[in-house]
Amino acid sequence: MSFESLGLRAELLRAVSEKAYSTPTPIQQQAIPLILEGRDIMGGAQTGTGKTAGFTLPLLQRLMASEKPEKGRRPIRALVLTPTRELAAQVAESVITYGRYLPLKSTVVFGGVSINPQKMKLIKGVDILVATPGRLLDHVGQNSVDLSKVEILVLDEADRMLDMGFIRDINKVLALLPKQRQTLLFSATFSDDIKKLANELLKTPALVEVAQRNTASERVSQVVHPVDKSRKRELLSHLIGSHQWQQVLVFTRTKHGANRLAEQLMTDGITAAAIHGNKSQGARTKALADFKSGKVRVLVATDIAARGLDISQLPHVVNFELPNVAEDYVHRIGRTGRAGNEGEALSLVCVDELGLLRDIERLIKREIPKVVFQGYEPDPSIRPEPINKGRGKSSQGARKSTGNNSRSGQRPPFKGRSSGQGRPANRSRQSTQGAR
């Protein structure tokens, strides 16, 4: 199937061609015709499947086909809500890229930056607005935005928005929209809360689902490296150095942990930067730009970066710490293996995290191979300790892990093959003789 066969107008096909895309992805093949028909959509797709273009292209075409006001300021006719600044910026970039030959105007608004330049663009009028819920409501409060003419609403990464506690903000936004509209809801996972939201918002929706829910891409190879918590940083530096990895996205559970790990990697001679919610938008943008350009070798991130980071051909994702919520594992490793490329996801797992690992394996319905590095074998005498989930956990984060704390006090054994790679068993800091 080609993009031409989907019924897209010439201006859109030209923009797609300039991106060197010739064949639509499965989500695009299914979603674009249905959206062009005006259907409400409940879409489920793994990250990196071309979902953004799947709703952006038909959205642009429908706006061109609908009646436009003759005079006055352009009303907002399409609204795209996203959970994070990074995802908002990514979607806004796609709107500009695919709509470059159309007379439609768009802008993006999110927090962390001055609101005044955003207000000026909104006051001039735009056809398409991409926004995070909180900043959008700030504009509503300052009367710089009118949502009464919205024809198409897109909720992108709806599950993440609910996880981040945006349901009240979403409901406030929904109250400002016309009841007669087309609604497109996309979610990587379909929890009961998502199903409830879909039932309230969508009218006889078409279900578009290109992969089994809550599963990782088959293009991403997964492996667990059992290691004591105190030696994770040492093993990570060894992996990066011995394999000459040049671009690695590393996930931690906390903002403080991300900062600390980035600083420690720098002391090991590995250029690194941290990205998380406490960083200013300018700092986050710079860190991401430096990572994409190769100036920074390792980007250490919290789960705020698990959605919205679109890095072409990212080869390696490392879970320095497993996430508290199993679904977040799927989103994390979905940063690699995108757009048909191969990817590698490694998890450094200590005894405290065995319960989290079991939750993940239960979710993805497969056992992840375990490879123990010689010289980094876990100490069998170490007992598991409770994981401090912190105040910033998601709404699902309060769920108990099945094995975070061992009631019997016995350490559940790791089962996996041993790797000859790693430091010598005496754990000295001499160079490794047999590293590949």
Using one digit for the tens of pLDDT, what is the confidence trace for 250-293?
A: 999 999 999 999 999 999 999 999 988 788 878 888 888 898 88
Say if residue 201's pLDDT is above 70: yes
**Same domain membership, residue 193 and residue 91:** yes
Residue 270 phi, psi (nearest 5): -110, 120
Of the two residues 48 and 53, the one the predictor is more confident about is 53
Q: Which residues contact 275 (CB under 8 A, 6 or more apart)?
A: 258, 283, 284, 287, 288, 299, 300, 301, 302, 304, 305
Q: Which residues contact 293 (CB under 8 A, 6 or more apart)?
A: none
Q: Is residue 260 assigned to a domain? A: yes
User: With contact defined as beta carbons under 8 Å apart, do 307 and 160 qualify?
Assistant: yes
**Same domain membership, residue 22 and residue 73:** yes
Q: How far apart are CA 208 and CA 369, in angstroms?
A: 31
74: which strand partners? 125
pLDDT value for 424 = 39
Query: Which of 209, 228, 252 is the last residue in one of the domains?
Result: 209
**Same domain membership, residue 254 and residue 235:** yes
Say if residue 328's pLDDT is above 80: yes
**Same domain membership, residue 228 and residue 187:** no
What percent of the chain is predicted at pLDDT more than 70? 82
Model confidence pTM above 0.85: no
**Same domain membership, residue 165 and residue 260:** no
pLDDT value for 334 = 79
Q: Is residue 430 assigned to a domain? A: no
Residues 197-208 have a mean pLDDT of 90
Q: Tokens 């690695």: give the residue.
A: 248
Q: Is residue 429 assigned to a domain? A: no
How far from chain centre, in Å, is Cα 353?
22
Say if residue 435's pLDDT is above 60: no
- Kindly report the CATH number assigned to the domain that includes residue 315: 3.40.50.300
Residue 337's pLDDT band (boundaries 50, 70, 90)? low
Using one digit for the tens of pLDDT, what is the confidence trace for 59-102?
A: 999 999 986 655 667 899 999 999 988 889 989 999 999 999 99
Burial of 374 (0-12, 13-18, 19+ CB in 10 A): middle
Q: Is residue 75 assigned to a domain? A: yes
Q: Is residue 215 assigned to a domain? A: no
User: With contact defined as beta carbons under 8 Å apart, do 247 and 314 qualify?
Assistant: yes
Tell me, letter by letter, the H, E, C secondary structure of 145-170: CCCCCCCEEEECCHHHHHHCCCHHHH
User: With contact defined as beta carbons under 8 Å apart, do 431 and 422 qualify?
Assistant: no
Strands 152-155 and 182-186, bridge-based pairing: parallel
User: With contact defined as beta carbons under 8 Å apart, do 130 and 157 qualify?
Assistant: no
**Same domain membership, residue 289 and residue 269:** yes
**Same domain membership, residue 403 and residue 261:** yes
Q: Is residue 428 assigned to a domain? A: no
**Same domain membership, residue 245 and residue 99:** no
Q: Is residue 26 assigned to a domain? A: yes
Q: Tokens 């470059």: give the residue.
A: 100
pLDDT value for 333 = 85
**Same domain membership, residue 295 and residue 242:** yes
How far from chain centre, in Å, is Cα 119?
28
Query: Which of 209, 244, 260 is the last residue in one of the domains?
Result: 209
Give whichever of 13-22, 54-63, 291-300, 387-396 has the largest mean pLDDT.
Answer: 54-63
Residue 393's pLDDT band (boundaries 50, 70, 90)? very low
**Which of the residue ranges 139-143, 222-226, 278-282 would you say has the lowest mean pLDDT?**
278-282
**Same domain membership, residue 324 and residue 205:** no
The domain total for the chain is: 2
Q: How far apart are CA 408 and CA 422, in angstroms?
A: 32
Q: How far apart are CA 245 and CA 298, in angstroms?
A: 9
Residue 399 phi, psi (nearest 5): -65, 140
**Same domain membership, residue 146 and residue 184:** yes
Q: How far apart are CA 393 and CA 416, in angstroms?
A: 31
Q: How far apart are CA 135 and CA 293, in angstroms?
A: 29
**Same domain membership, residue 307 and residue 233:** yes
Domain span at 34: 4-209
Say if residue 118's pLDDT is above 90: yes
Query: Which of 209, 238, 270 is the last residue in one of the domains?
Result: 209
pLDDT value for 307 = 59
Mean pLDDT of the chain: 84
